[in-house]
Amino acid sequence: MPAPRSTNRKEDILQALAAMLQSNNGQRITTAALAEKVGVSEAALYRHFPSKARMFEGLIEFIEDTLLSRINVILDEHKDTASRTELILQLILVFAERNPGICRILTGDALQGEQERLQERVAQLFEKLETQLKQCLRERKLREGKGFNIDEGELANLLLATVEGKLSQFVRSGFTRLPTQHWANQWGLLQQTLFG
């Protein structure tokens, strides 16, 4: 008896691509290999996505939608700046840890040799994340009557650079050095330094 067909072939293609990004560390993924993994012809892939670049864009859109929607929930549910900041940074780390193949997109590792616009899309995503952090930090003056000893934009940049470094270590280690490893202690130090 054949396996039941999925109702969303586009989603199947993106999930297969993410899985291949995790298992084919450092190797370029061909549409032929992806079609084989999904169990369809290359022509069938192109019925859902006009190009491999559009498949990567689909994954980037998924990343962006997931992270930004969850950040909005964090901002709605938490009013303390330290908690908001911690939860946003932790969200990115945990998301990357649970999605190693997708983490390779976030670090740009999987996009080497692909269209430049894909790198630009990831850069735009990180700009949006940095803007969210900066806004969160700026609201501290309004919410708590306290500021920082550094510009909020510079601080947001530093915090995001820390997270990006942990993502790069995760990819570089072949997914063995988890982004959340030591994070509780590292955040404790950051929190004590930044929020007193």
The domain in which residue 58 lies consists of: 52-195
Q: What is the DSSP letter of 28?
A: P
pTM over 0.75: yes
Residue 69 to residue 75: CA distance in whole angstroms: 10
The total domain count for the chain is 1
Q: What is the DSSP letter of 179?
A: T
The 10s digit of each residue's pLDDT in 132-154 is 999 999 999 888 889 898 999 99
Query: Residue 69 belongs to a domain with what CATH number?
Result: 1.10.357.10
Residue 118 to residue 106: CA distance in whole angstroms: 10
CB atoms under 10 Å from CB of 131, counted, come to 12
Counting Cβ atoms within 10 Å, is residue 126 exposed (0-12), middle (13-18) or buried (19+)? middle
The 10s digit of each residue's pLDDT in 40-77 is 999 988 999 999 899 999 999 999 999 999 999 999 99
Handedness of CA 124, 126, 128, 130 (dihedral sign): negative
